[in-house]
Amino acid sequence: DCRHLSFVDYSATAALMTLRERYTKAGKQLRVLHLSERCKKLLKRARVHHD
């Protein structure tokens, strides 16, 4: 739950990407809830560059 998160930096983005990879390999999904639009854009951009 990211309700109180106002900013995502590179280390947070990298940690979420690593966690997503681990969950995917385990056949699970990672859900990030209540993320601000700004943070969503940053994560989507990081995902595009990561995949």
Distances (CA, A) of 12 to 16, 27, 47, 48: 6, 22, 13, 16
DSSP codes of every residue in 3-28: TT-----HHHHHHHHHHHHHHHHTT-
Give me the pLDDT at residue 24, please.
92
Give me the pLDDT at residue 22, please.
94
Give me the pLDDT at residue 45, please.
82
Residue ranges making up the domain that contains 44 = 10-50
Q: Is residue 16 part of a domain?
A: yes
Give me the pLDDT at residue 51, please.
56
Give me the pLDDT at residue 5, please.
79
Query: What total of structural domains would you count in the chain?
Result: 1
- Distance, in Å, from the CA atom of 50 to the CA atom of 17, rounded to the nearest integer, reads 8
Q: Is residue 3 part of a domain?
A: no
Give me the pLDDT at residue 36, please.
85
Q: For 2-51, how does the pLDDT look when each residue is reduced to its tens digit (9 = 90+)?
A: 888 777 788 888 888 889 899 999 999 988 888 888 888 888 887 755 55
Q: Is residue 2 part of a domain?
A: no
